[in-house]
Amino acid sequence: MKNIFKTITGLTLPVALLLLLAVPAVQAQIPAPPQEGPVALVGGTVHTMSDGVIQNGTVLFEDGKITAVGTNVDIPSGAEVIDVTGRYVYPGLIHASTTLGLTEIGRLTETVDLNEYGNINPNVRAEVAFHPESEHVPTASVNGITTAVSTPTGGLISGRAAAMMTNGWTWEQMTLRSSVGMMLNWPGMGNTRSRDEALNELQQFIDEARMYQAVKYAAGERNVPRHLHDVRLESMIPVLEGEMPLFIRASELRQIQSAIAWAEKEKLRIVLVGGRDAGYVADQLAEKNIPVILTPVISGPARLWEGYDESYTTPAQLYEAGVEFCIGGESSAAYAFRLSHHAGSAVAFGLPEEEAVKSLTINAARILGIDDLVGSIEVGKDATLIVTNGSPVELWTNVEQVFIQGRQDDMMDKQRRLYEKYKEKQRQAAM
């Protein structure tokens, strides 16, 4: 019982001091400069996600990269040593499917950059519209989300998703990796007419992209005239070549099966996004090695007869069937920070806690193709880490420190700023 009440230690001392000193001037998240000297986090329990848990471990990083992990690490002189005894070190959390940076207030269309005109927009890139000033970005980062895959939505092909860091001055600096996936919304299967129209449109577009690809390969050959450019078709080439996966949004089981069959026929690499009914076709997903970004987990059952916990148990079902999956939470930018709640609810209904954390770190990184940079605490990867006072998927756990490529977050967001401000109002009233 005692553990349960060992909860809030609040903010770490340096941050708390910073707040005390700077109350009137506190702003939301001021990005730190690139890491200068080496930093060592010592004394914590390190959850590497790739190589088990290290008690009383040290994580050393330099120039934004992890240089050493273990219990027996030589700390270079001049390194900044941060004692995290009694704390836990995890890789930063990855939100695999969000609209962070692309929207601010849903009702204000002026603040929404999600859905480009037209039905087929493979050329548009999320990162260029990522608003570094969005108040939701620091809120995500202080809650431990260091990487957010921002996705365009709408139409048939919505555009390209980008893996963004949640701290930085400009979108350029904040882009961890561009074009991690091509967003495709699989048509609803209930209305056969609109389904067929959409599927025909998709097929025709893929066929055209292949024609464009052939022309491209033939460029420069004898007797081949110059062809005019087409930005839409051009941007499909990495998809056709298997470099960029299609992120196919599909929830209902007919959609999922239709998408799988189509991708097999077209020999395209896909990742399933959504996957409400994925539990019903888990064996097929496992057999065909189709990864799933599950969104959201906290949700009601789709059918009256289903158990009340149908959605909560889907991650455990996928895990037991051997499906590669990660948990994506809600797409709303304002609620990106709720990511860990979705993984935590899956734990309540049967997913091992360690797997829940993996679903927000290394598994997400692998599915997104960014595991060379983030997702685990390994030498050579980005020093993108969080320090917590408990499991990152427990509701009451506080993320105390956040490092993104070695740069320490100031742990300030709009919510904390308003908190400090009105704490001051109460203080004045009490005087």
Partner 1 sequence: MLKTLISLVVVSFMFIHNLNSQTAQVVGVRENTPAVFALTNVTMVAEPGNVVNNATIVIRDGIIEEAGRRVSPPADATVIDLEGKTVYPGFIDMYSEIGMPDLGSPPGVQTLTGVPEEYLEMIQGIMRTQVTDEVGRAAVHWNPQVRSFYRSAAVFQPDNNAAAELRSQGIVMAHIVPKHGIFRGYSTVASLGDDDANMLLAKKDVAQVLSFSRSRELGGRYPTSLMGVVALMRQSFYDADWYKSAHEAYRNQTGIPQPELNISLASLSDAVGEGTPFVADAADEIGFLRAYDLSKEFSLDMWVLGSGDEYKRIDAISRTNLPVIVPLDFRQAPSVEKPEDAMNTSLSQLRDWYLEPENPARLVQSGVPVTFTATGLRNKGDFLNHLRVAVKRGLNEEDALRALTVTPATMLGVDNKYGTIAEGKAASLVIADGNIFADNTSVYQVWVDGKRYVIKDDKDARGEYTVKNGDVLRNAVLEIKGTPSRLSGTISIGEESADLSSVRFDNERISFRFKGDDLGLTGNVRLSANLSEGEMIGIGEKGDGTFFNWTAIKTADPEAETEREARERPSLALDPLYPSVDYGIRRTPDQPRYVLVQNATIWTQGPQGRMESADLLVREGKIEEVGRNISAPRGAVVVDGTGMHVTPGLIDPHLHSSIAGGVNETGYNMTAEVRIQDVIHPNTVWMYRLLAGGLTTAKLFHGSANPVGGQDAVIKMRWGGLPEDVLVEDATPGLKLAMGENVVRRPDQYPNTRMGVEEIMRDAFLAAREYEKQWNDWESNGNGIPPRRDLQLEALLEVLNGERKTHVHAYRQDEMLLMMRLAEEFGFTVGTFEHALEGYKIADELREHGAIPVVWSDWHSFKVESYDGILHNAKLLIDAGVVTSLHSDNTQIATRMNWEAGKVIRSGVSHEDALDLITKNPAIALGIDHRVGTLESGKDADFVIWNGNPMSAFSIAKQTWVDGRKYFDREEDSRKREEVQEERMKLIEYLLENRN
Segment interacting with partner 1 (CB under 8 A) among 92-100, 174-182, 196-204, 333-341: 333-341
Region binding partner 1 by CB under 8 A among candidate stretches 104-112, 264-272, 323-331, 364-372: 104-112
- Residue 162 C-beta: closest distance to partner 1, Å: 22
CB nearer partner 1, residue 178 or residue 257:
257
Nearer to partner 1, 182 or 333 (CB): 333
Show Cβ contacts of residue 173 under 8 Å, excluding neighbours closer than 6 positions: 31, 165
Full DSSP string of 115-166: --SSSB-TT-BGGGG--TT-THHHHHHHTTEEEEEE---SSSEEEEEEEEES
Question: CB-wise, 265 or 305, nearer to partner 1?
Answer: 305
Q: Does 110 bind partner 1 (CB under 8 A)?
A: no
Angle (CA) 219-225-226 rounded to 5° is 65
Tell me which of 25, 108, 214, 228 binds partner 1, using CB under 8 A: 108
Work out the angle at residue 295's Cα, subtended by the Cα atoms of residues 289 and 324, and round it to the nearest 5 degrees. Answer: 20
Host H or E run for residue 285:
helix 282-287
Does 112 help bind partner 1 (rule: CB under 8 A)?
no
Single out the segment in contact with partner 1 by CB under 8 A; choices: 17-25, 77-85, 220-228, 293-301: 293-301
Residue from 12, 314, 398, 401 touching partner 1 (CB under 8 A): that is 398
DSSP 330-375: ---STTGGGHHHHHHHHHHTT--HHHHHHTTTHHHHHHHT-TTTSS
Q: Site mask, partner 1, residues 211-250, x = CB under 8 A?
A: ----------------------------------------
Using the minimum distance from each CB to partner 1, give the nearer residue, 35 or 143: 143
Any contact of residue 431 with partner 1 (CB under 8 A)?
A: no
In degrees rounded to 5, what are phi and psi of residue 364? Answer: -65, -45
Is residue 334 a contact point for partner 1 (CB under 8 A)?
A: yes
117 near partner 1, rule: CB under 8 A:
no
Q: How far apart are CA 404 and CA 388, in angstroms?
A: 15
Q: What number of CA atoms fall less than 13 Å from residue 365's CA on the CB side?
A: 24
x/- binding map, residues 49-88, to partner 1, per CB under 8 A?
A: ----------------------------------------
The interface region with partner 1, picked from 39-47, 124-132, 150-158, 348-356 by CB under 8 A, is 348-356
Tokens of 294: 């599950």
If one counts every other C-beta atom within 10 angstroms of the C-beta of residue 10, the result is 11
Is 425 a binding residue for partner 1 by CB under 8 A? The answer is yes
Which two tokens mark 390? 């408990």
Between 40 and 336, whose beta carbon lies closer to partner 1? 336
- Per CB under 8 A, contacts with partner 1 among 6-25 are 7-8, 10
What is the rounded distance in angstroms from the CA atom of residue 401 to the CA atom of residue 408? 7
Tokens 């005390």 locate to 20
Cα separation, 351 vs 354, whole angstroms? 8
Is position 352 an interface residue for partner 1 (rule: CB under 8 A)?
Answer: no
- The yes or no reply on residue 388 touching partner 1 (CB under 8 A) is no
Binding of residue 305 to partner 1 (CB under 8 A): yes
Q: What count of Cα atoms within 13 Å lies in the side-chain half-sphere of residue 115? A: 11
3-state secondary structure 376-407: CCCCCCECCEEEECCCCCCCCCCEEEEEECCE
The residues binding partner 1 (CB under 8 A) are 1, 4-5, 7-8, 10, 104-108, 135-136, 253-254, 298-301, 303-305, 307-309, 332-335, 337-338, 341, 344-345, 347-349, 353, 393-398, 414-416, 418-419, 422-423, 425-426, 429
